[in-house]
Structure 1
Amino acid sequence: MIYQGNAITVARGLEGAGDAIATLTFDLKDESINKLSSAVVAELGEAVAAIRAEKGLEGLVIGSAKEAFIVGADITEFHGMFEQGAEQIEAMLERVHGIFNAIEDLPFPTVTAINGLALGGGCEITLTTDFRVMAESAKIGLPETKLGILPGWGGCVRLPRLIGADNAVEWIAGGTENRADAALSMGAVDAVVPGEQLQAAALDILARAHRGELDHQARRAEKSAPLTLGPIEQMMAFETAKGYVAGKAGPHYPAPVEAIKVIQKGAGESRARAQAIEAKAFAKLALSEVAFNLVGLFMNDQVVKKKGSQYEKQARPVKQAAVLGAGIMGGGIAYQSASKGTPILMKDIKEEAIELGLKEARKLFAKQAERGKLSTGQMAEKLSNIRPTLSYGDFGHVDLVVEAVVENPKVKDAVLTEVEGLVGEETILTSNTSTISITRLAQNLKRPENFCGMHFFNPVHRMPLVEVIRGEKTGDAAVAATVAYARAMGKTPIVVNDCPGFLVNRVLFPYFGGFSQLVEQGADFQRIDKVMEKFGWPMGPAYLLDVVGMDTAVHAGEVMAEGFPERMAGMAGDRGEGKGKSAIQVMFENDRLGQKNAKGFYAYEEDRKGKPQKVRDEAAIELVKGVASESREFSDEEIIARMMVPLCLETVRCLEDGIVGSPAEADMALIYGIGFPPFRGGALRYIDAMGVDAFVTQAERLAEELGPLYAPTEKLRQMAASGEKFYASKAQG
């Protein structure tokens, strides 16, 4: 044994090779995956020093004993590292570069055997060796730009010299995970083999290097030398790419364009100089609010996944599902279940509704086939997982039912009580309701412990969130099974407690309330949309209301007003005696329902692909003018405050009321459910970034003019006074 650590071992001798070949194996103890924490990187430095000191070695194979090769750096350390400032970050990167360069400069040929995922720092380690062999099922990539940073351990330097600047820009700016065949065709790896042949292929490459068939020194020279690009090639590879990537990434995500600039600046430099350029740019991005929030987002996502996994361990598996109510929503749920391998019955009382549901599922499968993600045979096989039916005949064998009929408590109650008598005693019943109380819907059920909410967001195939709603009598087994089924469908379930609107809609409607008040005071709804889109929302509030549907918004607004009359009365409906009507109510009364009938705040015309495109509509503008009780000019900052404060405060209330279990879950629900700008990290992180005291001061000022919707809670005032935050410290995420 040359070296033995907690995560790395180095040994001489490998089956099929003599003692002259060393193997460096990553196998982090007590973990299911390999990741590069600061402790593991320090071990790697010691291991490489031990290899350099060892006499008689003629080759090195780097490999992994885990299913994945290395999934990347330990992201839980990032916030703590970022807090240390640019100088310390650059010093850390310099140390890592020293270790990685030492691997690259070993006095014999080296090869990495990539058996599974090699991402981020894991991918950068593979780039240090002379050669790479890859299992057919493995993937490789540099996803750092998705965290608001860029590859900082040599990825921006080595990859362009290995696969060409244009290909490297695509990989790094896109943050993609790349399959073995793509990696081979670009020259990122030298061979792709079945997993069981990986070791033999690695040894074969070393043997060929010793015979002079492969020139490992030439490989090194190429990776260390400047890129040879003429002026036209430079412009094609970098200037054109910067424009394209900037357009795609948008103004709030600087990392992809910064990565291209780093590759460009380092193109004509030696290894040491190019690495210094990379380190400086990494440190600059690491200190940005965007990187801090995106790293926080990753960590929040891990919290949500861990909770989901804990529920899943307690759950009985759902082998057969059913959805009640076909149509667009039912068809979407059926498609999602079938596409991920859980067979589903799709029941309705009308043949035409069944046809509509099947049409929706077929359309979605056809799109997958068009993109080359499914063959015709696979599409037919997955479609056969959906069994349409007009009767309850096979419901005795169903493990979980999703009720997705019309959003009407009487209809839902009738359907749920009927199906309960036709399923097994352990069958879980769920309701895909967006507003109706789960406790209320459970009142007439004989087994309310087997019932919970399962709220999908539209369109089902695109929206990652599923709210799993626990009613007063819902049992743990029902929640666990529903969470497990949502995860099996490829969704992110978040468990919340029952209240009007649950979590996401309860938080969304104060945002619409802020919009209604702005319009009433004379703000132009089109300008509000532009300001909020510039702030980072995928669509402004008027556009979002058109997508939601004015009828849905009015109904949900009434539910919210009934549940929270003090602050939510009249936000989406009639504002009460002497107060006039909200813009949403006026649109509804004039049959301007939004995209569903091609007219709302905007008019809608189909583009070439049949997708609705919004256009200015003078009739809508005139109707909204009639709502305004005064005429006022608002700055962008005022509009943002008026829109964001109510949303953030309602998120705080949901946390304080125990509707959601943690800041991480609250923030992820808003990002996954309503498109809260990811680079801002979520509503509670947004408050932290502003400073709780500054946020409370702003809210109190607005509450004086606008009322209870803007009033901070007593607990939030206490947090402001004591300097407390929702996320305890940067280092903790």
Structure 2
Amino acid sequence: MESKRISFEIEESIAYLGFGYNCTKSMTTLDEETLQELSDRLDELHKNKDIKGVVFWSHKDRCFLAGADINLISSMKTESDGASGAEAGQTIFNKIEDLKVPTIAAVHGVCLGGGLELSLSCKAIVASDDKGTMLGLPEVKLGLIPGFGGTYRLPRKIGLPKALDVILTGKMLKAKKAKRLGLVAGVYPKERIKKMASFHFGGDEKKGGLKESLEHIASDNFFAKKIIFQKARESVLKKTKGFYQAPLKILDVMEAGIMKGRSSYLAAESQAFGELCVSEQSKNLQHIFFMTETAKKYSGPESSGNLPRLKKGAALGAGTMGGGIAWLMANNGMAPLMKDLTPEALELGYKQSSSNFMGAVKRKRMTRDEFERKQRSIQGQVGYDGFERVDLVIEAIVENMNIKKSVFSEVETKVRKDCVITSNTSSLSVQEMSTALENPERFAGLHFFNPVHMMPLVEIITHDKVAPETLEALYNWCMKVKKTPVIVKDGPGFLVNRILMPFMNEAGFLLEEGVPMKDIDDACLNFGMPMGPCRLLDEVGIDVGEKVAKIIHDGLGDRVKSSPFSSKLVEKNFLGKKNGKGFYIYDKRGKVEGPNEEVQAMLPKTKKKMDETEIQMRIFLPMINEAATVLADGIVESAAQVDLGLIFGIGFPPFRGGLLRYADSEGLERLIKAMEDRAESVDKDRYTPCDFLKDLAAQKKKFYDV
């Protein structure tokens, strides 16, 4: 047959099937055509009595197989569709497993999901030592169970405890780690990977050591299995709080099927896949996947000139944010300068970057030598020496407009004409800042979220004179340093902080009404937020929150007015985690010890019992309304950008698909009625639905229809 997607060669009685043949995409996936062609080739191999072995490999430099085509998964409308799709894939992979000759997967590049499930169907897997070679089963992150036999074969390959860890976390494994787990038989240079596969045809995979043997013996014991699954279930519930269906479904299938044969086990796996793939939760997580993929491509104003090359960086300001930004630059080979006014201030920046690097060392993601090299690449200084060599400056000094403008006027004289200058401001007008520069076209806002090393979002803030080349260069740089960028227009609070403000403001009003702090934070946690508004305000800094709240109130009016309670806390020097006292008390390591009783004493003595759902409505309705005004004001262009910003910026629960996707699912007419009710009973300014939202409902449209 003619090869369309998979090359087919026979050399010295060895069949070589190469994925990615005639494929223009950088990542190869298992779409319908590829699966059908693979099935046909396997039928040929079953009939060929002269074949002595089969090697699966890839023509792509960065991808073995990136799994099943998610467009195919998202197109499934019924449980039956999903189950049938999984069964079809299982049938094909069973053909690989049932071949009477040795089969080897020669993995170079990304090998995920269906790609790893195919590899597990082989007698052995070998992998390249390239840093881009990654193996894993990330289906759980899409609200799915591996549906092509992954939950059946992986435990039999590496043992139950290790398999559960890989499947339930969706983690990706580098080749050497995969070899230590027993998943990979050999690790070789990428140039030799295809040839070295044949060396494993003798079936002489190195057996695991005593520890691995004991693990397999232990997990074969009925009572040991019961304990393993019990501990895994406890761990899942602790991490996910029971919000996510897929990990629990995976455990159910694996535990019920642990003693079953292949056909009955795979039938249960495919049925579970069908149930999950059409669930609202999985559809929401698939939606986030597509949003994230879209965000990888720059779609801002079109550039006509050459893009600035951002190779060497500088951080202006060396506090928590400045040190975090210097760490980000150093971690990406930019050998940054870090400038501040005093050696003491520089020491704070060094402390922050060192802490970030040391965390990677403790997690074994970085060696001590790498830590030393990268930390030493940060050059702290109190002057502008070397700024003429810098391509990107990120300012992270005090949130004071006059001081910032003065610094920009000064730094512009110290750098080249093509150097991009940015501000990490969280609330001040980028438009006004731009007036301080003679060449504002190379200036923009670049708002990171704290802590820099953990928060993935970056807001790129525009103004009316910024050059498209500046925006595209910054966008590409954010992607290079593994951040998720969203381009937003200038305005009070930009995107995320503007919508976040009602979340924290409303908590203050509820506290003043007598609703207990624990009830407020618990209601938000039970909605799926990573932390409640009181705890979040402590994390941000109550003084910082109060300052930003005033800026946003001045710019947007009384619909975002804040409770005066924060001001009372700042007066008493209750600033939050930074000084150990806020709504909660913190130990020296920043761990919560308990509620701050002095703050509790400042609250109404008569406590108000409020239904959890009502607390959630009080907090999230103003956020939805403000998100609608963000779209109306053109701060961003789409509901997807709003949702991407809130998921990656404040941890809005991914299983809900984003704030506006959640609003669409609840029904805009219902939400407007709820707002109007509270406009009458609670506060007219904070709850009156905006015209944009009412117009959508009147036209029977949703946010995602715009």
TM-score (norm 1): 0.89
Any conservation in 2 of the 1:605–1:615 contact (CA below 8 Å)?
no
Task: Give runs of aligned pairs for residues 661-672 of structure 1, distance below 5 A.
Answer: 661-672=637-648
Instruction: Name the residue aligned to 2:67.
Output: 72
Residue-by-residue CA offset, 1:652-689 (whole Å, 9 max, x unaligned): 22122211132222111111111111221211111122
Alignment gaps of 5+ in structure 2: 207-217
C-alpha displacement at 1:271, in angstroms? Answer: 0.6
C-alpha displacement at 1:69, in angstroms? Answer: 0.5
Please state if 1:550 is matched with 2:542.
yes
Instruction: Name the residue aligned to 1:180.
Output: 175
Select the residue among 8, 11, 14 that pairs with 1:10: 8
CA distance in 1, matches of 2:359, 2:99: 50
C-alpha displacement at 1:345, in angstroms? Answer: 1.0
C-alpha displacement at 1:418, in angstroms? Answer: 1.2
Please state if 1:189 is matched with 2:165.
no
Instruction: Name the residue aligned to 1:141.
Output: 136
C-alpha displacement at 1:285, in angstroms? Answer: 2.2
Task: Give runs of aligned pairs for residues 299-314 of structure 1, distance below 5 A.
Answer: 299-307=290-298
Select the residue among 11, 24, 35 that pairs with 1:41: 35
CA distance in 2, matches of 1:164, 1:363: 35
Residue-by-residue CA offset, 1:168-192 (whole Å, 9 max, x unaligned): 1121112111222232233323222
CA distance in 2, matches of 1:411, 1:689: 45
CA distance in 2, matches of 1:533, 1:311: 41
Report the residue type matching 1:355 in the other structure: E
CA distance in 1, matches of 2:24, 2:334: 33
Select the residue among 35, 56, 66 that pairs with 1:62: 56
CA distance in 2, matches of 1:505, 1:269: 52
Report the residue type matching 1:92 in the other structure: G
Task: Give runs of aligned pairs for residues 621-640 of structure 1, distance below 5 A.
Answer: 621-625=600-604, 632-640=608-616
Task: Give runs of aligned pairs for residues 155-234 of structure 1, distance below 5 A.
Answer: 155-206=150-201, 208=202, 229-234=220-225
Report the residue type matching 2:34 in the other structure: V
Instruction: Name the residue aligned to 1:700.
Output: 676
CA distance in 1, matches of 2:543, 2:64: 51
Any conservation in 2 of the 1:33–1:66 contact (CA below 8 Å)?
yes
Any conservation in 2 of the 1:583–1:624 contact (CA below 8 Å)?
no
**3-state secondary structure, aligned to 2:298:** helix
Instruction: Name the residue aligned to 1:478.
Output: 470
Select the residue among 268, 277, 287 that pairs with 1:277: 268
CA distance in 2, matches of 1:96, 1:374: 38
Write out the 4+ residue segments of structure 1 that deviate beyond 6 Å after TM superposition: 308-314
Task: Give runs of aligned pairs for residues 604-623 of structure 1, distance below 5 A.
Answer: 604-606=586-588, 610-623=589-602
Please state if 1:642 is matched with 2:618.
yes
Change (3 A) 1:388 1:297: same
CA distance in 2, matches of 1:180, 1:528: 46
C-alpha displacement at 1:631, in angstroms? Answer: 6.4
CA distance in 1, matches of 2:101, 2:355: 56
C-alpha displacement at 1:455, in angstroms? Answer: 1.0
Residue-by-residue CA offset, 1:311-331 (whole Å, 9 max, x unaligned): 899632212211111222211
CA distance in 2, matches of 1:376, 1:214: 32
Change (3 A) 1:309 1:411: closer
Change (3 A) 1:692 1:44: farther
Any conservation in 1 of the 2:516–2:607 contact (CA below 8 Å)?
no
C-alpha displacement at 1:367, in angstroms? Answer: 3.0
Any conservation in 2 of the 1:409–1:436 contact (CA below 8 Å)?
yes
Any conservation in 1 of the 2:159–2:219 contact (CA below 8 Å)?
no
CA distance in 2, matches of 1:613, 1:124: 42
Residue-by-residue CA offset, 1:358-394 (whole Å, 9 max, x unaligned): 2222232233333333333222221232111111232
Task: Give runs of aligned pairs for residues 568-587 of structure 1, distance below 5 A.
Answer: 568-569=560-561, 571-572=562-563, 582-587=564-569
Select the residue among 100, 110, 119 that pairs with 1:117: 110
CA distance in 2, matches of 1:656, 1:419: 36
Any conservation in 2 of the 1:3–1:10 contact (CA below 8 Å)?
no
C-alpha displacement at 1:632, in angstroms? Answer: 4.2
Change (3 A) 1:214 1:393: closer
> Pairwise CA RMSD of aligned residues?
2.4
CA distance in 2, matches of 1:585, 1:374: 43
Task: Give runs of aligned pairs for residues 320-399 of structure 1, distance below 5 A.
Answer: 320-399=312-391
Instruction: Name the residue aligned to 2:20.
Output: 27
Instruction: Name the residue aligned to 2:213.
Output: none
CA distance in 2, matches of 1:38, 1:691: 35
Report the residue type matching 2:6 in the other structure: I
Instruction: Name the residue aligned to 1:267.
Output: 258
Task: Give runs of aligned pairs for residues 455-494 of structure 1, distance below 5 A.
Answer: 455-494=447-486
Change (3 A) 1:309 1:36: farther
Change (3 A) 1:485 1:631: same
Residue-by-residue CA offset, 1:550-581 (whole Å, 9 max, x unaligned): 21111111111111114123x15xxxxxxxxx
C-alpha displacement at 1:691, in angstroms? Answer: 2.2
Residue-by-residue CA offset, 1:147-187 (whole Å, 9 max, x unaligned): 11111110011111222222211211121112222322333
Paired positions, count? 690
Question: Which moves more between the two structures, 560-569 or 248-257?
Answer: 248-257
Select the residue among 663, 673, 693 that pairs with 2:649: 673
Residue-by-residue CA offset, 1:627-655 (whole Å, 9 max, x unaligned): xxx96432111111111111122122212
TM-score (norm 2): 0.93
Any conservation in 1 of the 2:300–2:471 contact (CA below 8 Å)?
no
Change (3 A) 1:247 1:632: closer
Any conservation in 2 of the 1:294–1:678 contact (CA below 8 Å)?
yes
CA distance in 1, matches of 2:300, 2:136: 26
CA distance in 2, matches of 1:393, 1:132: 53
Change (3 A) 1:264 1:257: same
Change (3 A) 1:611 1:297: same
CA distance in 1, matches of 2:373, 2:59: 35
Instruction: Name the residue aligned to 1:528.
Output: 520
Any conservation in 2 of the 1:692–1:725 contact (CA below 8 Å)?
yes
Report the residue type matching 1:592 in the other structure: F
Instruction: Name the residue aligned to 1:577.
Output: none
Instruction: Name the residue aligned to 2:235.
Output: 244
**3-state secondary structure, aligned to 1:401:** strand
Any conservation in 2 of the 1:308–1:484 contact (CA below 8 Å)?
no
Report the residue type matching 1:714 in the other structure: D
Task: Give runs of aligned pairs for residues 292-303 of structure 1, distance below 5 A.
Answer: 292-303=283-294
Alignment gaps of 5+ in structure 1: 216-226, 573-581
> Identity across aligned pairs (percent)?
36
Question: Which moves more between the two structures, 298-307 or 634-643?
Answer: 298-307
Report the residue type matching 2:599 in the other structure: A
Any conservation in 1 of the 2:390–2:419 contact (CA below 8 Å)?
yes
CA distance in 2, matches of 1:248, 1:525: 23
Instruction: Name the residue aligned to 2:93.
Output: 100
Any conservation in 2 of the 1:297–1:668 contact (CA below 8 Å)?
yes
Any conservation in 2 of the 1:154–1:278 contact (CA below 8 Å)?
yes
CA distance in 1, matches of 2:231, 2:386: 58
Residue-by-residue CA offset, 1:232-275 (whole Å, 9 max, x unaligned): 22223322222223223321123223212211211111110000
C-alpha displacement at 1:440, in angstroms? Answer: 0.9
Any conservation in 2 of the 1:472–1:498 contact (CA below 8 Å)?
no
CA distance in 2, matches of 1:681, 1:632: 32
Select the residue among 83, 94, 97 that pairs with 1:90: 83
Please state if 1:404 is matched with 2:396.
yes
Change (3 A) 1:430 1:107: same
CA distance in 1, matches of 2:55, 2:302: 40
CA distance in 2, matches of 1:58, 1:694: 66
Any conservation in 1 of the 2:296–2:479 contact (CA below 8 Å)?
no
